[in-house]
Amino acid sequence: MTDRNQGDANAASRRAIIGGVGGGLMAAPALLGAMPASAQQSGQQANQRANQRSSSGSGGAPSLEDPRQAYPRPPFPRQEQEWPGLASRMQPRPDHGEDSYRGSGKLTGRRALITGGDSGIGRAAAIAYAREGADVAINYLEAEESDAREVVELIRQAGRKAVAIPGNIQEEAFCRQLVDRARQELGGLDILVNNAGRQTAQPSIGEISTEQFDNTFKANIYALFWITKAALPHMPAGSTIINTASVVAFDPPKMLLDYSMTKSAIITFTQALAKQVAEQGIRVNAVAPGPYWTPLQPSGGQPTDALTEFGSQVPLGRPGQPAEIAPVYVMLASGEYSFASGGVFGSTGGTAGP
């Protein structure tokens, strides 16, 4: 799609490029176009299965479900959004675990900062962390305020403190301010999730402008470096840092050249930093998702024509839903996984990865 805000030919992104504190937005209208009957049926079935999962576990036979049918499958309705995109406008709407995630106290008393926490994987992690007992600060773009409000309310419904911090993580000064405000309002910081990123699909290197290249690296690499550098002096032994990489670091698609470069760099950063901070008792890991159904995709991360079949290429035949990866972020943040550091953990739908 065309990034009308930036004027780039095909610019798009996800979480964290520009921002600043501002007023809230009204909920965006639904996209044009009807949802295919297959997607509607899959969504209804997914809701039914979520209810079954939440009510099971009281005894009897274990609840099993076919992972191929657990959530909506392509084809999806044709859709596109202006950057940065909202989860509330996607068809079908992503499942972040709003109705299904049940905590068990794994993160009681912990304090987490999550970039890109308004939607997608960051939102799923924020919901799960709160329901596991953590207080949570989220960073997001001003344009994503309506999605962020929903996350804040869900955190508060879980009985935990929510801190909303909109702003531009492409600016080093703001990254320092973000960390300072999060730790002050949370009363400390012991979980950092570097999740925000930018993805722009381009057919060839000739279509990647210097501006796009800079924006991708500023959002995905510079911000991660600045935020982590600012946070580490305040993180006690037992803390954990989790970086969101991608399966494209292992199998880069031709249309995501600059994005794939940054995701490879995130893995190297994770592995080297884990060695540096081990002597401080801090763990560092990365998660490498496969195709996940998030606003990253319809806001330019995928060609519009290809989005209707998004996820169909993986062995399970569908994209992942953010709710399906949240337990990985909980596991890596939990002290129960205390020997894991310097690792890369995949959730790829069967595609080769970490």
Contacts of 330 (CB under 8 A, 6+ apart): 106, 107, 125, 128, 129, 132
Q: How many CB atoms lie within 10 A of CB 176?
A: 15
| Predicted local distance difference test score (pLDDT) of residue 252 | 96
Distances (CA, A) of 323 to 5, 73, 108, 128, 177: 30, 15, 20, 9, 30
In the predicted model, what is the mean pLDDT of residues 321-326?
A: 97
What's the rounded Cα separation, in Å, for the pair 157 and 125? Answer: 15
pLDDT over 60 (residue 50): no
What's the rounded Cα separation, in Å, for the pair 321 and 59? Answer: 27
CATH superfamily of this structure's domain 72-347: NAD(P)-binding Rossmann-like Domain (3.40.50.720)
State the angle between helix axes of 210-217 and 257-277 in degrees (0 to 180), rounded to the nearest 10: 30
What's the rounded Cα separation, in Å, for the pair 141 and 22? Answer: 10
- Contact (Cβ atoms closer than 8 angstroms) between residue 282 and residue 228: no
Contacts of 60 (CB under 8 A, 6+ apart): none
Do strands 162-166 and 191-194 pair parallel, antiparallel, or not at all (unpaired)?
Answer: unpaired
Token output for 137: 């600060």
Helical (H) or strand (E) element with 248: none
The DSSP-derived string for 277-333 is HGGGT-EEEEEEE-SB-STTIIIIIS-HHHHTTTTTTSTTSSPBPGGGTHHHHHHHH
Residue recorded with tokens 């994987």: 121
Phi, psi (rounded to 5 degrees) for 135? -85, 145
In the predicted model, what is the mean pLDDT of residues 234-260?
A: 97
Render pLDDT for 277-304 as a digit per residue (tens, 0 to 9). Answer: 999 999 999 999 999 988 878 887 888 8
Higher pLDDT, 297 or 51: 297
Return the beta strands (E) in the chain as ranges. Answer: 111-115, 135-140, 162-166, 191-194, 240-244, 283-289, 344-347
Q: Which residues is 193 bridged to in the sheet?
A: 114, 242
- % of the chain exceeding 70 in pLDDT: 83
In the predicted model, what is the mean pLDDT of residues 296-320?
A: 89
Distances (CA, A) of 331 to 114, 139, 143, 272: 15, 22, 31, 21
* DSSP helix/strand/coil, 259: helix
Q: How far is CA 267 from the centre of its chain?
A: 16
Token output for 221: 């690499």
Render pLDDT for 191-210 as a digit per residue (tens, 0 to 9). Answer: 999 999 999 999 999 999 99
The DSSP-derived string for 178-210 is HHHHHHHHHTS--EEEE--------SSGGG--H
Q: State the catalytic residues.
A: 259
Q: How many CB atoms lie within 10 A of CB 97?
A: 24
In the predicted model, what is the mean pLDDT of residues 99-105?
A: 96
Query: Which pTM was predicted?
Result: 0.84
| Predicted local distance difference test score (pLDDT) of residue 193 | 98
What's the rounded Cα separation, in Å, for the pair 198 and 218? Answer: 9
Residue recorded with tokens 């301010």: 177
